[in-house]
Amino acid sequence: MKTNRSCATLLALGCSLALAAGCASTPAPTEQMAVSKLAIATAVAAGGPEHAAVEMKSAQDKMDRANRAMAKEDYDVARTLAEEAQADARLAEKKAQSDKAQKAAAVMRDDNRVLREELNRKTQ
Amino acid sequence: MNNHYAIKPLALFVAAVLSGCSSMPERNSMLEQARADYGAAQANAQVVTLAAGELRQASDSLDRANAASNKGENTATVDHLAYIARQQVGIAEETARQKNAELMVANAGAERDRVRLDARTREADAAQRSADRAKRDAEASQRSAQASQLQSEASRRQAESAQRDARASQLQSEASQRSSEAAQMQSEASQRMAMAERQAATDAQVSAAASRQRTLDAEGRARLLEAQLADLAAKKTDRGMVITLGDVLFDTNQSQLRSGGMRNVGKLADFVKQNPGRIVMIEGFTDSVGTDGRNQRLSDERAGAVRTALLSMGVGSERMTSRGYGESFPVAGNDTPAGRQQNRRVEIIVSEDGGVIKPR
């Protein structure tokens, strides 16, 4: 167990060194930033602000913070926030689309109910 | 899910050894939430059938979060990956709800026909009932006619006029019985017709169900795919299916996609997500007006914009390549405005299942 642990400690040390080295040279996540920005624009166009206000606000807040992190060259933070903003925006977009589809289905259901009642009245 | 529970003690042990401390790391509640959400979505047949692609993405993200947790990465990283997984489960659920509602809208027409058929069946039933009533009335009036005939025979001499009345009323009752029989026959015929229609509707429903089943089958899938691609006006070539986004779908001389272009890209993203075995190559082209450098840049940027749009819709970057070709490979003459407009385009090539696209 003892040798095991010292091995593991060495490994952990190596890992964190590699990680630290990775952090230092993290490239700017420009593509992720563009992707997230577009996802938000698409969600807004789909009606996200009306149909999924919470997710939409979360996406926009995270995008703002990601932009600030980019300005500070805090690229890991920027990427993390941008990825979450994209996920939030896509959920908002889907919620909006699903809301609209469900409303359309409800209208059709109502139309059929009215038709049924009308025909029932006629045959009674 | 069983798997996760089996791995967990081992993972915690490994994490404890890696961090080199004696206390157990605390449980990650975001990850547990993500696992629970995913489990619920996986148990929902509607999500499994209607949002298979989205659910698979959620599953991949959850795997990454689990792996990070097992490797003992810091809480923020695990939280982040688990958060993405949770949102993707939500996306899968909303997609299933949307598709389900769309199916309901599509089926509402059939439901309307069913309502009309029900109404017609009820009409036939009502006709039958009124025929029955008429028959009973006729029988009663015949009985009363017979009674009055007996009476009139007993007092024939005194009431010859009454006998004539009785005969007349018998005739009348016979006529009304005949008419009731006719009504009954007619109601039976309309009932038969309604039954035949109902049968036909049932048959149609059965065959519709069978054809739905077939589209789910492997061979039917191909047809479904082609229909989806036909929606995008895809052309079949030896390199794969080619979808062309014309110049009008971009802002003039810029790489920004217009809303019409985004809609097409959205359809394509749906298609690609449901078909994980296919890869996508995006190629941009311009006309010959302007410098080579500027054309190269615009074609690069337009191809890149399509790639970014697909990425933002959740298509994995490892499945896409994009490249600009400037004014090379024109599809029409550059000497007319119409020809030049045709040359300003982005072509999206979707591979067959297997993921190989021949380079140009």
ipTM of the complex: 0.77
Q: So what's the pLDDT on residue B299?
A: 96
Query: B168 or A103: whose pLDDT is higher?
Result: A103
Q: So what's the pLDDT on residue B162?
A: 65
Owner of token pair 């008429």: B134
Quickly count: other Cβ atoms within 10 Å of residue A59's Cβ. Answer: 28
Q: So what's the pLDDT on residue A64?
A: 98
CB pairs under 8 A between A and B: 113
Q: So what's the pLDDT on residue A21?
A: 46
Q: How confident is the model at residue A4 (pLDDT cuts 50, 70, 90)?
A: low
Q: Which of B258, B250, B218, B253 is nearest to B353 (CA)?
A: B218
Q: So what's the pLDDT on residue A17?
A: 46
Yes or no, beta carbons of B98 and A101 under 8 Å apart = yes
Q: So what's the pLDDT on residue B348?
A: 94
Residue-wise pLDDT tens digits, B71-93: 999 999 999 999 999 999 999 99
Yes or no, beta carbons of B98 and A8 under 8 Å apart = no
pLDDT at A23 > cutoff 50:
no
Computed from CA positions of residues B48, B51, B56, B62, in that sequence, does the dihedral angle turn out positive or negative?
Answer: negative
Q: Report the residue from A5, A35, A111 with minimal CB separation from B311.
A: A35
The tokens for A73 are: 């060259």
Q: How far is B112 from chain A (nearest CA, A)?
A: 6
B88 lies within 8 A of chain A by CB: yes
Residue-wise pLDDT tens digits, A47-80: 999 999 999 999 999 999 999 999 999 999 999 9
| Average pLDDT score, chain A | 85
| CA B115 – CA B100 distance, rounded (Å) | 21
B8 lies within 8 A of chain A by CB: no
Spell out, as residue ranges, where chain B has pLDDT lower than 50: 1-2, 16-24
Owner of token pair 């009785």: B166
Q: Report the residue from A9, A108, A119 with minimal CB separation from B20.
A: A9
Which one of B64, B70, B98, B264 makes the best mutation probe of the A interface by having the most chain A beta carbons within 10 Å? B98
Angle between helices B292-312 and A75-123 (to 10 degrees): 60
By the 10 Å C-beta count (0-12 exposed, 13-18 middle, 19+ buried), B338 is classed as exposed
